[in-house]
Structure 1
Amino acid sequence: MAIDETPSSFFAPRPDRLRHSAIILLAAGLGLTVLVTLGQLPLLAAAAVFALVAAAALVPWRLHDAEASRDDIRTEDPVEAAAVNAIVAGMPDPAVLLDRAGRVIHLNAAAAQLAPALRKNELAQFALRSPEIIGALREAIATTQPRRATYLDQVPVDRWMELVITPVPVPTRFGGADKCMLMTFHDLTPLRRVEEMRADFVANASHELRTPLAALSGFIDTLQGPAKDDPKARDRFLAIMHAQATRMARLIDDLLSLSRVELSAHVRPDTLVDLVPLIRQVADGLEPLAHERQVVVEINLPEMPIMIAGDREELLRLFENLIENALKYGASGGKVIVSLNSAAMAEGAPEIRVTVRDFGPGIAPEHLPRLTERFYRVDVGDSRSQGGTGLGLSLVKHILNRHRGRLLIESVPNNGATFTACFPQPRSPGSTQS
């Protein structure tokens, strides 16, 4: 039977039903009061009649609310509950809840961003076309067992993703439980890249060490054999062996320095260091190399102290690498300028900049983004002939990272290169900027 929701019905919406019940009770009360006053009805009988009228007015409303509540309970799907939706939406990784048929029940914003084709109440297989995903999902639905799959997502950029499908028991409308499928996606790209970098580092380090070792081994064999009694050959081979041993020692030293800096990368130095005498010390130490390459080193430093929070030994290594690179690879320009000044970042934060500029052949634009990679060289033959290890700029970058600084590289082919080490400027002489 249809429920009459007009204002005259007991089964009207709650505000109307309450108002009508109150009117009926008020009218009944007034009528019974008049009858009792006129002596037409005993007081006890009037009270009994009022109670019957009140029951008749209020009980149907209570029954209607109870029936409506039971209908709401019967029609509400536990899987569609707001709490389930909130749980899925609050998960940090992309997450999708599916029914046993593979249709999407809930998905969070991260999942919608990962797979824009996902739609509620539609099959997930239509939106996730990776064979690994479809295979894992079919197995999970068929067996109601957890499944994992790793796949390569190439849109919009290459990303390695891991899919985890977990069966989740959810109460049904009529009691019992059913198995829904919770799909969560985890981005493995950073781990993959770290693993690739580790493998490349081991391969490059092994190659760099193997080359001088092979040279040393070959010359030792020669000196023990055919050149044993040849003084000229012995002197020439010993000089080459000394150069190769020096190169190997420098490579090992750079590797150890890089390892030490990485281990302490999370700890910012807190000792105040004056950059002015530090840079002069490095320039004076490299004066023989500058004289050998016939390069004039021009030092433009302020007279007043310039203090930063730093590690003195690491800063010495940083400036040695920058100035030595300029002397080696920009020697054809005949001049290297080292300067120190204060400037402001784009956000307005003040910083101290140490700039090393050469006037050599410069660096092609395609090489600039990779200069700080380990063992990356613009010209492998030239770098090795100069005694470079391929780790200098990588070490510079890591030292600057530990000092919460940054490295700027600018170059125009045939017009030299400029390397700028930027450090955050202390707020006051007695405190450093956090």
Structure 2
Amino acid sequence: MLHDLNPLAGKRFLAAAALAGITFLGLALGGWIAPIPALVAGLGLVAGLGLLAWRLGRPAGRGEGGGAPTEGSSSPQAARLEALEALLAGLPLPVLQVDQGRRVTLANPAADALFGRVQIERDLVATVRHPLLNEAVDRVLAGETGQETEFVLAGASERVLAARIEPAPVSGNGRPGAVVAFYDMTRVKQADRMRADFVANASHELRTPLASLIGFIETLQGPARDDPDARERFLGIMQEQAQRMARLIADLLSLSRIELNEHRPPTGAVDLGAVLKGLAAALAFRATERQMTIELGVPSPLPGMGGIAAMTELPPVQGDRDELTQLFQNLIDNAIKYGRPGTPVSVACWRVPQTRLQRGMLAVAVIDRGDGIPREHLPRLTERFYRVDKARSRDLGGTGLGLAIVKHILNRHRGRLAIDSTPGEGSRFIVYLPLAAELS
């Protein structure tokens, strides 16, 4: 079993065996005179040399009792492999190794976390299906130098990934393969896009109130310097414009924070009934100003869905309490602003059963009795700064960002928004949120 020994052990064993053979031959020849003592001496020397060869050739770290490693010990090769495996497992970057046939032979835990359970011995496309990555890996496997590529990984929330591919032998067998390391560029790209959007949108939306403020300040410093009535009127308008800019900046910053974490779904459980009851109490004064009321637990607007009347009976949803509070505050506040005075704002809740393709969800509908929204505007309502009636929206204090914030909060929560409206009758905004994990 020489192939089981390391090279040094094999050489030592062969040398000792050769010496033992020569010695035994000499003693055997001498044994013609005294055969019994010679035979005993020869066998004893062979056994001793064999034991010496085994001791000299035995890999370091093995136990005294035999060739198998004892508990807690290993050969240098095994120790190095264990150290490499620990290093790979501890890397925060996802890493895959593929062989010449583009089959995945190794994946670290970070790769499992990014792509789901990586399928070993399957083609790379079973884990990451993108032509740019596959073409770069094929070029490296064909003998080219290391490659870099950037691509978008589709899913519930898009992620931008950069990949570095380097040639490497697979499993130490000398066959050409490749190692692929991934870098998540999502937050960097989002930050770049948000900076560009902020400059474009903020400059557009802030231009009008800033121009008004500058004009009124110049008037107060000049012709209206000594006119107390004009000063009082202008200061009121200036305060209104400054408050509008403050709301706009607050919404832009809120939207930026939400987008930055959009690819990381929240894991907490939220009592949505308590959130809705708190919002109804907080917004009751605004509703009263327009002779409106907020009704909780009305029947579902969808046929056959029933409804949950008591807010205490709502099952918990998976989410972030502060973000869900902001989401429903935006929707209920919009219903108060755009509903007709003297009409109620209704909030209906019902449970959507789990199916083979979808986990269990809680549906919450916010319904107003306003002028409604023409159907051609519905697909664009969640765009930033999109307004059906721009003048009316600004008069009511809207920033054009409320529904964009709703959309991005739902993206982070892996939920969805459905909008339906009938001109002259009103609108309903239905939010679908996944139930907490233990209930789904």
Q: TM-score band, normalised by the shorter chain?
A: 0.5 to 0.7
Match of 1:391 in 2: 401
Residue 359 of structure 1 aligns to a residue whose secondary structure is coil
Q: Following the alignment from structure 1 to structure 2, what is the Cα–Cα distance between the partners of residues 428 and 271?
A: 11
- 1:352 maps to a residue whose letter is L
Match of 1:207 in 2: 204
Match of 1:337 in 2: 346
Match of 1:292 in 2: 289
Post-superposition Cα deviations, 1:75-97, rounded to whole Å, max 9, x if no partner, equal xxxxxxxx9xxxxxx99649xxx
Match of 1:235 in 2: 232
Is 1:362 matched with 2:372?
Answer: yes
- 1:327 maps to a residue whose letter is I
Q: Following the alignment from structure 1 to structure 2, what is the Cα–Cα distance between the partners of residues 364 and 345?
A: 33
Task: Pick closer, same or farther for the CA change 1:258–1:340 going to 2, 3 Å.
Answer: same
365, 372, 377: which one aligns with 2:387? 377
Match of 2:321 in 1: 312
Check whether the contact 1:308–1:423 (CA below 8 A) recurs between aligned residues. yes
- 2:351 maps to a residue whose letter is S
Is 1:425 matched with 2:435?
Answer: yes
Is 1:402 matched with 2:412?
Answer: yes
Shift of residue 224 of structure 1?
A: 1.9
296, 304, 321: which one aligns with 2:330? 321
Post-superposition Cα deviations, 1:393-416, rounded to whole Å, max 9, x if no partner, equal 000010011111111111111121
Task: Pick closer, same or farther for the CA change 1:198–1:373 going to 2, 3 Å.
Answer: farther
Task: Pick closer, same or farther for the CA change 1:92–1:204 going to 2, 3 Å.
Answer: closer
- 1:363 maps to a residue whose letter is I
Q: Following the alignment from structure 1 to structure 2, what is the Cα–Cα distance between the partners of residues 358 and 92?
A: 44
Q: Following the alignment from structure 1 to structure 2, what is the Cα–Cα distance between the partners of residues 210 and 256?
A: 18
200, 218, 222: which one aligns with 2:219? 222
Check whether the contact 2:365–2:429 (CA below 8 A) recurs between aligned residues. yes
Larger radius of gyration: 1
- 1:256 maps to a residue whose letter is L
Name the TM-score, length of structure 1 as normaliser. Answer: 0.52
Post-superposition Cα deviations, 1:299-339, rounded to whole Å, max 9, x if no partner, equal 21523353122212111111110001111112357221012
Shift of residue 345 of structure 1?
A: 6.9
Q: Following the alignment from structure 1 to structure 2, what is the Cα–Cα distance between the partners of residues 269 and 92?
A: 27
Check whether the contact 1:333–1:360 (CA below 8 A) recurs between aligned residues. no
- In structure 2, list runs of 5 or more residues that go unmatched: 1-99, 101-124, 133-190, 298-308
Shift of residue 198 of structure 1?
A: 7.6
Check whether the contact 1:333–1:361 (CA below 8 A) recurs between aligned residues. no
Post-superposition Cα deviations, 1:2-55, rounded to whole Å, max 9, x if no partner, equal xxxxxxxxxxxxxxxxxxxxxxxxxxxxxxxxxxxxxxxxxxxxxxxxxxxxxx
Task: Pick closer, same or farther for the CA change 1:92–1:297 going to 2, 3 Å.
Answer: closer
- In structure 1, list runs of 5 or more residues that go unmatched: 1-82, 84-89, 95-193
Check whether the contact 2:290–2:342 (CA below 8 A) recurs between aligned residues. no
Alignment coverage as a number of residue pairs: 254
Residue 331 of structure 1 aligns to a residue whose secondary structure is coil
Q: Following the alignment from structure 1 to structure 2, what is the Cα–Cα distance between the partners of residues 371 and 272?
A: 29
Match of 1:247 in 2: 244
Q: Following the alignment from structure 2 to structure 1, what is the Cα–Cα distance between the partners of residues 351 and 331?
A: 19
- 1:353 maps to a residue whose letter is A
Q: Following the alignment from structure 1 to structure 2, what is the Cα–Cα distance between the partners of residues 333 and 373?
A: 30
Match of 1:43 in 2: none
Shift of residue 229 of structure 1?
A: 2.4
Task: Pick closer, same or farther for the CA change 1:264–1:92 going to 2, 3 Å.
Answer: closer
Check whether the contact 1:299–1:338 (CA below 8 A) recurs between aligned residues. yes
Match of 1:114 in 2: none
Q: Following the alignment from structure 1 to structure 2, what is the Cα–Cα distance between the partners of residues 213 and 320?
A: 28
Post-superposition Cα deviations, 1:241-268, rounded to whole Å, max 9, x if no partner, equal 1111111111101110010001111221
Task: Pick closer, same or farther for the CA change 1:225–1:245 going to 2, 3 Å.
Answer: same
- 2:346 maps to a residue whose letter is I
Shift of residue 227 of structure 1?
A: 2.1
- 1:350 maps to a residue whose letter is G
Task: Pick closer, same or farther for the CA change 1:196–1:276 going to 2, 3 Å.
Answer: closer
Q: Following the alignment from structure 2 to structure 1, what is the Cα–Cα distance between the partners of residues 225 and 296?
A: 49
Q: Following the alignment from structure 1 to structure 2, what is the Cα–Cα distance between the partners of residues 241 and 328?
A: 22
Check whether the contact 2:209–2:242 (CA below 8 A) recurs between aligned residues. yes
Match of 2:183 in 1: none
Shift of residue 203 of structure 1?
A: 2.6
- 1:270 maps to a residue whose letter is T
Check whether the contact 1:340–1:352 (CA below 8 A) recurs between aligned residues. yes
Name the TM-score, length of structure 2 as normaliser. Answer: 0.52
Residue 211 of structure 1 aligns to a residue whose secondary structure is helix
